[in-house]
Structure 1
Amino acid sequence: MISQKWSKLIRGLQQKKQRKLEQCFIVEGEKAVLELLASTWQVKALFATERFLQQHAKAVASLPLVEQCTADELVKVGTFSTNDAALAVVAIPERPAFTLTQPEWVLVLDTINDPGNLGSIIRIADWYGIKHIICSGDTADSYNPKVIAAAKGSFLRVNLYYQDLTELFAKQQQRPVQPIYGAYLGGESIHNLALSQAGGFIVMGNEANGISPEVGQYITKKITIPAYGSAESLNVGIATAIICDNLCRISQPNQV
């Protein structure tokens, strides 16, 4: 059984304030937990069904705390509507400040509020080999359970940083390293874009308001996804995928 102490902690970690206090977050579901166990991230406790523990005995052998429980218990303390596998309590890793040593694609998120969108963007970044995402301070918390669920195991491979975007780009302006592309409804078609180099910052704006004027002043190239129909706009996750696909294709024309 999951003790009252751990039940209270797990429920608390569903709130940003408690995650910050405990410096922990939760990962739920078989696939995500298995990817986690194969990584170097620190798992503080694992709660899992008998089936999961029997099938993955070697993977859980070195963990500091492993407790068997029922699927119903996992559902009661977690956020999934069904979970017949596992839930892990994980230490939030310390990350160094973002530094750019060579030109590469970096996603920049300006006030992306929806956790599901952020999780999808993390997964998209992982698909296209983008290792860094820089978030404004008011972007959704990357350790929100909804973000982790939407990201699947990609949160393990993509580094997220939270910082003031205007300070970031002001420094870039002083010593330009790579261009700053901003996604707008009006801009140069992503299909016709000519790149000065293979790499750059890709700025995606708020779901409702787009890129803020404070960040927009640093954009060196406005880009857009051409519309062929009458939809007003695209979901920010879908837009991110389309832009990343085109930029990676253009910058790596020989990639199979």
Structure 2
Amino acid sequence: MNREELAAFLRSRRARITPREAGLPEGERRRTPGLRRQEVAQLAGMSIDYYIRLEQGRGPHPSRQVLGALARALMLTADERTHLFHLAGQPLEPARRRRDVPDSTLHLIAFLEEVPAYVIDATCDILAWNPLASALMGDLDSRPRDDLNVIRWVFGAADLAEHLGDEEMGRFARASVADLRWAAGRYPGDPDIQALVAEMLACSPEFAALWAEHEVEVRREQRKRLHHSVVGTIDTICQVLPVPDRDDLRIVLYTTEPGSPSHQALRRLRQVTLSS
């Protein structure tokens, strides 16, 4: 049980909910946003003293029943609920982090000749990719293995800003941090995740600010506009799919609307890749 992280997560979720959203009267003017502690305790059906101890990181191990009540009271999303149970040492399912990509997944991305595809793990390390993904993302084959982490690209590499617009960069950065926060809760004590978080907190104020918000959400579909130096702008649908029987591994696909200028741009990029 990670008492400190659990306490911080409860405080952050309480602060974002208004009384009106929770179905409570707003009453007198409030000094701080969000619900009061006693209101959360009331909604969850527990004593105020018990809830205060949880928020102060000194409470007992909450049961699954208590965690479920807190998830409902704080209006948590499915991803946030899973994160809450992990922080409390009550995972909904056993978690094992692996980096070995199944052969079937390697074959799949290799056969996707017109779709850029790569595989990432829970730390957002890119583990495998097809030729079109390498061409789209800047010659992945030539990068050293320790320079294949998406989080480091987002908050440390200048070349990513050349591919994504400012607004999209902001959305992608926020989604990446929320996804890493989910991984940190799912794999508590994982040295690679802990080292990555510590590194980014030390070198990126932007990362630190987003990390302090305690947002939790698994990355799924997102639209991105990429700017490639050879074929120009490509509007893509970035789809993130779990690898079967490997919940910590995901396949990332960049698809385009069939017949669109972006689709034609990807085809031109593939021809350039084949001829080089």
Greater strand fraction, Structure 1 or Structure 2: 1
- How does the TM-score come out when normalised to structure 2? 0.26
- How does the TM-score come out when normalised to structure 1? 0.27
Larger Rg: 2
Greater helix fraction, Structure 1 or Structure 2: 2
